[in-house]
Amino acid sequence: MSRQLSMLLFLLAATVFAAEPETVNPQVTLVVRGSAPPTPEQLGKVELPIDLRVAAAPNAGLTLPAPDATAQEQISAARKSYINADFNKCLEQVADDSAMTKALAEADRTSAARVLLWRVACNVGAGKLEVARRSANQLAVFGLPVPAEVGSVSPEVEAVIAKGYQDASLAKPLPLVITSSEDGAEVQLDGRTTGCTTPCTLDVLEGSHVIRLTADGSTAAHKLVRAEPPKAEVKVELSAASPTLAAQQWTHRYAQSAEVEGSRSVRLLATALRTSRLVLLTVEDGPSPRTKALLAVDGRVTARTEREGALSTELNGLLTDLLTRGNILEPTPPLYKRPLFWVAIVLAAGAAAGITAGVLVRDVQTSVVLK
């Protein structure tokens, strides 16, 4: 009987294990804030079907791009040519918009203004008054301050510039609709912040404008656009930030921010850490420790939870709860869906049948002797 029972158990176990597909545990990156990261011993107590990787929060300083020297070089060369009355050569230095555009994109409005000043001066010197007027008008349209160098140019140039500002002041603004491939990008217009985030509309004067968009998780982009009545539109394509840039952006914007658990912060952090499944734990130490946790999948927050108690004791339960809510882990199946439950039921039924049979058909051996 025991042999048959062993065979039955073997067959049941073989069936159960054969039906169990081989699975690869999902990789989850864990970042802990406000406390030391879990020790290897604490991590060893995490008995979950996941590949848990602990990562430090980024702490990268924001690397600002070096100022473009092209504008300065052009200005210097143009000034020298202007003084030498070589206006054509002067114009060769400042006729191109690229240096001015770049300066405005980098919020270097002074350099942009100086480029335009010398463009006006060189055109006046070359007798191209119409072009000079347009450049002077552009200076006003950009809303740039008149550079101090205006004192070193001829009064005629000053007059053209003054006229440009006067014309601009009389012009009627027109709407410029700004959109981007990723909504929510901050808009900079002609080197000045606007407080506008895409999609949005700004009132601008007719003429050229430099639009620069910055957004978390994206590389900054700028565009020189021409605004003409009755309405202008511009769409700027943003490219995804590299993990290095994302780490810099996160450190700069969110590392010490109260919005560190916000969706933008988490998305940026996931990009910075190159992970598709991120768990961010925020530990609040003190007399009554508390741990808040969130799970982000592909940059989107899919689950949040929190627990009272020390991280060392709550880590396993916290992760179980969080990952189950976020559908990374299968919720514990009901009892009747577990194979072992049915194995136990079959065995119990067999045992019950055996006992019943044993009771009903009890084999009694009675020996009979003479008294």
Partner 1 sequence: MKMLAAMLVFVLATGCSQREVKLTLGDVGEGLDGFVCKDDKGQYLLERLVLPDGGTQQACLVTDFVDLQGVPGCRTGQLVAWCATHDCKPIPSTRVTTPITLPTGVAGMTRRQARDLVHTQFKKLSDTPFTSDAPPQFVMARMMATAQPCSEIATKPDGTLPKFEASKLVGCAYSCPTLFDQIQQDVYLGFDTLENDCAHGVATCADNALKWAP
* Least distance to partner 1, CB of residue 47, Å: 20
* Least distance to partner 1, CB of residue 16, Å: 14
The span of 52-60, 66-74, 324-332, 355-363 binding partner 1 (CB under 8 A) equals 355-363
Amino acid at 189: L
Which residues make beta-bridge pairs with 213? 187, 221
- Name residues contacting partner 1, limited to 311-350 (CB under 8 A): 344, 347-348
HEC string for 29-45 = EEEEECCCCCCHHHHHC
Count residues binding partner 1 (CB under 8 A): 22
What whole-number distance in Å separates Cα of residue 245 and Cα of residue 264? 15
Nearer of residues 1 and 56 to partner 1, judged by Cβ: 1
Alpha carbon separation from 294 to 43, 104, 182, 214 (Å, rounded): 18, 40, 24, 26
* Least distance to partner 1, CB of residue 299, Å: 45
The span of 75-83, 159-167, 306-314, 362-370 binding partner 1 (CB under 8 A) equals 362-370
Any idea which residue has 């998305």 for tokens?
267
Tokens of 15: 């069936």
What whole-number distance in Å separates Cα of residue 265 and Cα of residue 57? 12
Check if the beta carbon of residue 142 is closer than 8 Å to that of residue 170. no
Nearer of residues 129 and 351 to partner 1, judged by Cβ: 351
Interface residue with partner 1, options 18, 64, 258, 364 (CB under 8 A)? 364
- Name residues contacting partner 1, limited to 2-41 (CB under 8 A): 2, 5
Decide: helix, strand or coil at residue 160: helix
The span of 188-196, 278-286, 307-315, 354-362 binding partner 1 (CB under 8 A) equals 354-362
Q: Contact between 351 and partner 1 (CB under 8 A)? A: yes
* Least distance to partner 1, CB of residue 344, Å: 7
* Least distance to partner 1, CB of residue 14, Å: 17
Backbone angles phi, psi at 321, to 5 degrees: -60, -50
Residue 366 Cα to chain centre, angstroms: 86
Which residues make beta-bridge pairs with 232? 176
Nearer of residues 172 and 371 to partner 1, judged by Cβ: 371
Chain residues that interact with partner 1, rule: CB under 8 A? 1-2, 5, 344, 347-348, 351-352, 354-355, 358-359, 362-371
